[in-house]
């Protein structure tokens, strides 16, 4: 499973790249706004330190505007993946950009039917939002299972399932068990995956026993 980091904070991305936990990055207008920086500058900096796709989202709502913004965004760096919403205009933009060789991430997916449309439009990634579905009493992971199963039935579909709106490690683990291709995670959730009380307790015991020997490795 590929890990994308869901943030526009360059320091967080850089530290996780050094840890080997970054295959790509996802951003959106809200995350860029939180950074307080110029959008194009942030995207360019992230692309320079990220090995894989960096999703940069359009803000227009009509086809011509989305297309123009998408073409501008892809010029920032070779690894920009243009992010469009799952609307009629967004899917039309996805079809055009993907036919031009641009990677496209179709976001705000909340149904399996929408995911089928995105695959037919040539999306590189489809982003179902599990946390937001959970918030309204629906099972977000059930949607992941449905999309993974449907895509597996059709070898011509090359769209990868990118699980978004992940709130905690269980979302990630269950998505991996279901066979999702990618998960986009806030930095805090990646670091949560590192933690277990038995790991900490075991390390403390090992170090205490080693100290008693009076030895030094170097």
Active-site positions read 83
Q: Quick one: CATH architecture of 2-213?
A: Alpha-Beta Barrel (3.20)
Tell me the three state secondary structure of residue 41. helix
CB 103 within 8 A of CB 81: yes
Q: What is the pLDDT of residue 206?
A: 96
Q: Which residues contact 43 (CB under 8 A, 6 or more apart)?
A: 27, 54, 56, 73, 76, 77, 80
Q: How far apart are CA 151 and CA 212, in angstroms?
A: 57
Instruction: Give the number of other Cβ atoms within 10 Å of residue 5's Cβ.
Output: 27
Tell me the three state secondary structure of residue 22. coil
182: left (phi over 0), alpha (psi -120 to 50) or beta: beta
Please give the angle made by the CA atoms of 125, 58 and 117, to the nearest 5 degrees: 40
Listed by start position, the domains of the chain span 2-213
Tell me the three state secondary structure of residue 133. helix
What is the distance, to the nearest Å, from the Cα of residue 121 to the centroid of all Cα atoms in its chain? 20
Q: How far apart are CA 39 and CA 131, in angstroms?
A: 26
Q: Report if pTM > 0.85.
A: yes
Q: Which residues contact 192 (CB under 8 A, 6 or more apart)?
A: 168, 169
Q: What is the pLDDT of residue 35?
A: 86
Tens-level pLDDT at each residue, the chain (218 residues): 999 999 999 999 999 999 999 999 999 888 898 888 899 999 999 999 998 999 999 999 999 999 999 999 999 999 999 999 999 999 999 999 999 999 999 999 999 999 999 999 999 999 999 999 999 999 999 999 999 999 999 999 999 999 999 999 999 999 999 999 999 999 999 999 999 999 999 999 999 999 999 999 99
Please name which of 49, 45, 121, 53 lies closest in space to residue 86, comparing C-alpha atoms: 121
* DSSP count for the chain of H helices, then E strands: 11, 8
Q: What is the pLDDT of residue 73?
A: 97
CB 154 within 8 A of CB 189: no
Q: What is the pLDDT of residue 55?
A: 97
């Amino acid at each position: 499973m590929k890990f994308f980091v869901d943030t526009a904070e360059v320091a967080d991305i850089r530290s996780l790249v050094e840890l080997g936990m970054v295959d790509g990055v996802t951003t959106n207008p809200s995350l860029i706004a939180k950074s307080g920086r110029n959008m194009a500058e942030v995207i360019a900096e992230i692309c320079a330190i990220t090995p894989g796709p960096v999703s940069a989202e359009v803000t227009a709502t009509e086809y011509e505007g989305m297309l123009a913004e998408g073409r501008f965004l892809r010029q920032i760096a070779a690894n920009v993946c243009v992010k469009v919403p799952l609307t009629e205009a967004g899917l039309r933009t996805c079809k055009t950009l993907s036919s031009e060789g641009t990677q496209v991430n179709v976001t705000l997916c909340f149904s399996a039917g929408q995911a089928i449309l995105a695959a037919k439009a040539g999306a590189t990634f489809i982003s179902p939002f599990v946390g937001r579905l959970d918030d309204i009493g629906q099972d977000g992971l059930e949607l992941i299972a449905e999309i993974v199963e449907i895509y597996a039935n059709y070898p011509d579909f090359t769209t990868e399932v990118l699980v978004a709106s992940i709130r905690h490690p269980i979302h990630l683990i269950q998505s991996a068990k279901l066979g999702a291709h990618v998960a986009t995670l806030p930095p805090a959730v990646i670091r949560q995956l590192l933690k277990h009380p038995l790991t900490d307790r075991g390390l403390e015991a090992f170090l205490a026993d080693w100290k008693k020997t009076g030895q030094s490795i170097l």
